[in-house]
């Protein structure tokens, strides 16, 4: 067989990421606040762009002021309930402010930024009262920065010692100093250590300590007789010890846990009008921009100056692409929100319990868009609904099978778990298994460990600790 070189023509298709396409993709991901920053930056960089004076917003400064101040668009956001719904003022209006409303706004914002002592500051202040070496003081100050808002050490000890460049034994020694501080249990590495520290602070309770160290799982399942048999004591003594344990604080940092207040301006609003829902882009504070007419005329009248012509052509093309990307972003946002509204109509009519399973792929297929486009346009976006403010991502969750017709979303299951726990009597606290049994009777197939996972995500304590 003879080998010889030859030339072949081959036709292939290849997606080229043009600058315009890259910009459009980037714009999809921006929230309204980020879009505002982007517009301000583009106005500063591209001289042919200007704010459309005929639009409602006359300047970027005015837009930024509206961003920060307008009460009808500002929602208080508790970061602790991230990826859940946020209930705010439902009576949004578009009316101008009078002086009384401005005063209320100012008072609210002044109150919002008031700062209380944090757990970290409280621990640092106690260090200065201790008679310890300068070296231990410096190490302790650094270790405190590794304590999370709930009062627990957030990294393993070997990682901590490596980060600080100190021997593990030294890190352990200084951690003991921190664990002697108030609140009791702070600096613990897990729930067992947290409870043991508190028990030892209270006095000598050897039975309670043994239960914490070896039998917390049995306590969760109310297996008091089994614990009593293993420890060779009476059931009454076990119950007394458990009662003492239940009065301990599983989250030592909780009294200091005040989330920093942030403000959310919804990117889109869904409101009921004339018996139906309407999707409205919340863009009244975003300036409308256009290409300055002067530069268009200058381009047409200066054909001879090639350098000027090239410069103006590039800048005008860039401005037009930028404006087009903004418009495409708004159009896509409205289309996707309308599709979510159609798929989750029961939610918007009745509330969070009626959230259905929905995936990004479902909306992508419905709108004939790529799944990545849906992911980008719903990223970091918020929607104002009759039930409060939600992240757009909130409306997507995987299905949980049911013996009845249809499926449930994981978030609607969480709402059910929350309702079941809230309806507990003062003396009856349901275990995760009992809650799973209740849901199974309703036709929802769910395991105890899944209930436990959802309960933890809802930041609800286990039944034994809800009794205190």
Per-residue pLDDT reduced to its tens digit, 126-151: 887 888 888 898 899 888 888 888 89
Helices 306-343 and 371-378, packing angle to 10 deg: 90
Q: What's the sign of the alpha-carbon dihedral 135, 138, 140, 142?
A: negative
Q: What's the sign of the alpha-carbon dihedral 314, 316, 317, 321?
A: positive
In a domain, residue 9? The reply is no
In a domain, residue 113? The reply is no
Domain total in the chain? 3
Q: Where are the beta strands (DSSP E) in 9-109?
A: 49-51, 75-77
Last residue of a domain, one of 226, 256, 286: 256
From 375, 379, 372, select the one nearest 15 (Cα to Cα): 372
CA atoms of 74 and 33, how far apart (whole Å): 12
CB atoms < 10 A from the CB of 203, how many? Answer: 6
Q: Would the pLDDT of 102 be above 60? A: no
What per-residue confidence (pLDDT) applies to 438?
A: 84
In a domain, residue 192? The reply is yes
Asked if 159 and 171 sit in the same domain, the reply is yes
Last residue of a domain, one of 340, 366, 396: 396
Q: What DSSP state is assigned to residue 401?
A: E
In a domain, residue 1? The reply is no
Q: Is the distance from CB of 432 to CB of 447 less than 8 angstroms? A: no
Asked if 333 and 270 sit in the same domain, the reply is yes
In a domain, residue 210? The reply is yes
Range scoring the smallest mean pLDDT among 12-16, 62-66, 220-224, 438-442: 62-66
Asked if 231 and 136 sit in the same domain, the reply is yes
In a domain, residue 109? The reply is no
- Tell which wins on pLDDT, 5 or 402: 5
Asked if 134 and 90 sit in the same domain, the reply is no
Asked if 201 and 286 sit in the same domain, the reply is no
Place of tokens 């309308």: 338
Q: Is the distance from CB of 194 to CB of 151 less than 8 angstroms? A: yes
Side by side, the strands of the sheet bearing 382-385 are: 276-281, 268-273, 382-385, 388-391
| CATH at 219 | 1.10.10.1330
In a domain, residue 69? The reply is yes
What per-residue confidence (pLDDT) applies to 468?
A: 52
What per-residue confidence (pLDDT) applies to 301?
A: 84
Q: Would the pLDDT of 270 be above 90? A: yes
Q: Is the distance from CB of 381 to CB of 333 less than 8 angstroms? A: yes
Asked if 370 and 446 sit in the same domain, the reply is no
Q: Would the pLDDT of 417 be above 90? A: no
From 79, 88, 86, 83, select the one nearest 411 (Cα to Cα): 83
Confidence category of residue 1, pLDDT binned at 50, 70, 90? low
Asked if 364 and 428 sit in the same domain, the reply is no
Asked if 452 and 390 sit in the same domain, the reply is no
Range scoring the smallest mean pLDDT among 86-100, 211-225, 275-289, 294-308: 86-100
Asked if 215 and 273 sit in the same domain, the reply is no
Confidence category of residue 461, pLDDT binned at 50, 70, 90? confident
Per-residue pLDDT reduced to its tens digit, 67-100: 343 333 333 333 333 333 222 232 323 333 344 4
Asked if 140 and 231 sit in the same domain, the reply is yes
What per-residue confidence (pLDDT) applies to 22?
A: 76
Confidence category of residue 117, pLDDT binned at 50, 70, 90? low
Domain span holding position 138: 119-256
| Most confident range, picked from 9-23, 65-79, 160-174, 388-402 | 160-174
Give the chain's end-to-end CA distance (angstroms, integer).
Answer: 88
Q: pTM score, two decimals?
A: 0.49
What per-residue confidence (pLDDT) applies to 73?
A: 34
Asked if 415 and 387 sit in the same domain, the reply is no
Give the pairing type, strands 399-401 and 407-409. Answer: antiparallel
From 67, 256, 14, select the one nearest 147 (Cα to Cα): 256
Confidence category of residue 165, pLDDT binned at 50, 70, 90? confident
What per-residue confidence (pLDDT) applies to 328?
A: 93
SS3 of 55, please? coil
In a domain, residue 332? The reply is yes
Last residue of a domain, one of 203, 235, 256: 256
What per-residue confidence (pLDDT) applies to 11?
A: 63
Asked if 371 and 407 sit in the same domain, the reply is no
Confidence category of residue 187, pLDDT binned at 50, 70, 90? very high
């Amino acid at each position: 067989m003879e080998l010889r070189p030859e030339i072949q023509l081959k036709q292939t298709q290849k997606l080229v990421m043009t600058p315009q396409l890259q910009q459009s993709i980037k714009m999809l991901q921006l929230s309204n606040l980020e879009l505002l920053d982007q517009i301000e930056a583009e106005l500063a960089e591209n001289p042919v762009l200007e704010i459309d004076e005929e639009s409602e917003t006359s300047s970027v400064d005015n837009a930024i002021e509206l961003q920060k101040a307008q009460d009808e668009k500002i929602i208080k956001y508790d970061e602790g309930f991230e990826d859940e719904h946020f209930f705010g003022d439902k009576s949004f209006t578009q009316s101008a402010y009078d002086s009384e409303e401005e005063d209320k706004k100012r008072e609210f914002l002044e109150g919002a930024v008031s700062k209380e002592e944090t757990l970290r500051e409280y621990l640092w202040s106690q260090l200065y009262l201790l008679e310890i070496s300068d070296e231990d003081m410096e190490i302790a100050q650094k270790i405190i920065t590794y304590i999370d808002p709930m009062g627990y050490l957030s990294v393993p000890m070997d990682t901590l010692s490596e980060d600080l460049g100190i021997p593990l034994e030294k890190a352990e020694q200084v951690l003991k100093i921190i664990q002697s501080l108030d609140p009791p249990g702070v600096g613990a590495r897990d729930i067992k250590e947290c409870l043991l520290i508190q028990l030892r602070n209270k006095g000598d309770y050897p039975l309670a300590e043994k239960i914490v160290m070896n039998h917390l799982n049995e306590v969760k399942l109310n297996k008091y007789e089994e614990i009593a048999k293993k420890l060779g004591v009476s059931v009454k003594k076990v119950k007394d010890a458990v009662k003492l344990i239940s009065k301990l604080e599983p989250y030592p940092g909780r009294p200091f846990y005040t989330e920093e207040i942030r403000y959310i301006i919804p990117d889109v609003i869904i409101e009921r009008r004339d018996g139906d829902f309407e999707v409205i882009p919340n863009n009244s504070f975003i300036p409308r921009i256009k290409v300055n007419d002067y530069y268009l005329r200058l381009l047409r009248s200066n054909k001879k100056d090639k350098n000027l012509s090239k410069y103006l052509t590039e800048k005008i093309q860039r401005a037009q692409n930028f404006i087009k990307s903004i418009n495409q972003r708004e159009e896509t946002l409205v289309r996707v929100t309308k599709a979510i509204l159609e798929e989750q109509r029961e939610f918007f009519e009745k509330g969070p319990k009626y959230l259905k399973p929905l995936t990004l792929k479902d909306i992508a297929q419905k709108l004939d868009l790529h799944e990545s486009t849906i992911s980008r346009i719903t990223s970091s976006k918020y929607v104002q609904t009759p039930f409060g403010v939600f992240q757009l991502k909130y409306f997507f969750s995987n299905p949980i099978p049911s013996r009845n017709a249809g499926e449930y979303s994981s978030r609607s299951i969480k709402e059910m778990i929350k309702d079941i726990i809230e309806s507990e009597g003062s003396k009856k606290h349901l275990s995760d298994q009992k809650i799973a049994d209740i849901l199974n009777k309703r036709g929802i197939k769910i395991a105890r460990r899944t209930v436990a996972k959802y309960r933890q995500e809802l930041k609800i304590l286990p039944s034994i600790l809800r009794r205190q």
